[in-house]
């Protein structure tokens, strides 16, 4: 039946927001006193922020063109790590982005080591928990991955990508263990993610899928809930002229369960029109 839930991803977003994530560092230094050494530290940090922006631009350009060769990956990762070594916590984003580069270059184990060490050094740097948890999950270490995601969520309950990812982790556990505890936890986190972000499809997609899976487990009344979430998502996304192949797909699955095969086929066709790679709908 394909993946039951869609991960939220902060990797590319974090790269694009490096300036925002490092903003305020200079002000922190300035508050400590106007002596010459601290003014020098401030100037050095500003130069490093500029260097980080240049490395970011280069990474994005190469990634989009498929130009992340082994040598280029080593060079980018080393440059980012150097910025972190120079400044420590104020440049935690550089070390995080080093992990992103290693992941995109096909080195998830090396990336996991970077994220784990960053968490040890800067426990409050939340994006590292998200990416480390997803790497563990990808290895099949589901409990370990869910635990890391939950630790990150404890730092900031308003982080919608972590609310979503903890929910997806519990959804996938529910589909294998059929535990009501997993279902309740998944629903709770997915509803919170939906409250925090009503303008993107991912929260609607995952909550609808969760209700559909509950219906497939022998409780057909949940088909109505799945269908209502799909309808809500379609209406909300329509306001910004967005479409979701996954929502169309879930509606098709619901119609199949209801014995409305012709309608199901129509919704599957809509899903494929939006996303040709959605294998569920073929």
Residue 272: is its pLDDT beyond 90?
A: yes
pLDDT tens, residue by residue, 12-29: 434 433 333 333 333 333
* Interhelix angle 261-274/245-257, nearest 10 degrees: 170
Look at residue 100 in the predicted model and tell me its pLDDT: 86
Across the chain, mean pLDDT equals: 80
Q: What percent of the chain has pLDDT above 70?
A: 81
Give, in order, the Cα–Cα distances in Å from 239 to each of 202, 203, 235, 247. Answer: 16, 16, 7, 15
The average pLDDT across 214-238 equals 90
The average pLDDT across 4-10 equals 55
Residue of 104, 157, 87, 170 lying closest to 129 (CA atoms): 157
Q: What percent of the chain has pLDDT above 90?
A: 28
Distance CA 215, CA 11 (A): 33
Do residues 154 and 184 touch, judged by C-beta distance below 8 A? no
Question: pLDDT tier at 268 (50, 70, 90 boundaries)?
Answer: very high
The average pLDDT across 33-47 equals 59
Residue of 154, 155, 148 lying closest to 169 (CA atoms): 148
Q: Is 140 exposed, middle or buried (0-12, 13-18, 19+ CB in 10 A)?
A: exposed
Residue 274: is its pLDDT beyond 90?
A: yes
SS3 of residue 219 by DSSP: coil
The average pLDDT across 158-186 equals 83
pTM exceeding the 0.75 threshold for the entire prediction: no
Residue of 236, 211, 225, 227 lying closest to 260 (CA atoms): 227
Residue 226: is its pLDDT beyond 70?
A: yes
Distance CA 68, CA 224 (A): 46
């Amino acid at each position: 039946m394909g993946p039951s839930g869609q991960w939220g991803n902060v990797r590319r977003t974090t790269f694009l927001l490096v300036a925002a994530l490092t903003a305020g560092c200079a002000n922190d230094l300035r508050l400590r006193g106007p002596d010459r050494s601290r003014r020098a530290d401030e100037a050095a940090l500003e130069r490093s922020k500029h260097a980080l922006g240049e490395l970011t631009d280069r990474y994005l350009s190469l990634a989009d063109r498929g130009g992340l060769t082994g040598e280029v990956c080593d060079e980018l990762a080393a440059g980012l790590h150097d910025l972190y070594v120079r400044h420590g916590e104020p440049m935690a984003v550089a070390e995080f982005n080093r992990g992103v580069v290693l992941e995109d270059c096909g080195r998830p184990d090396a990336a996991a080591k970077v994220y784990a060490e960053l968490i040890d050094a800067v426990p409050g740097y939340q994006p590292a928990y998200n990416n480390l948890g997803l790497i563990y999950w990808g290895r099949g270490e589901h409990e370990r991955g869910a635990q890391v995601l939950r630790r990150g969520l404890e730092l900031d309950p308003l982080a919608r990508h972590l609310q979503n990812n903890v929910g997806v982790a519990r959804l996938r556990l529910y589909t294998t263990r059929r535990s009501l505890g997993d279902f309740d936890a998944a629903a709770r986190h997915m509803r919170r993610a939906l409250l925090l972000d009503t303008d993107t499809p991912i929260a609607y997609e995952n909550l609808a899928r969760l209700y559909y899976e509950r219906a497939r487990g022998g409780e057909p009344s949940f088909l109505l809930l799945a269908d209502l979430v799909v309808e809500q998502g379609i209406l909300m996304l329509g306001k910004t002229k967005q479409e979701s192949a996954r929502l169309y797909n879930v509606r098709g699955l619901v119609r199949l369960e209801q014995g409305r095969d012709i309608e199901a086929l129509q919704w599957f066709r809509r899903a494929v029109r939006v996303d040709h790679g959605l294998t569920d709908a073929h």
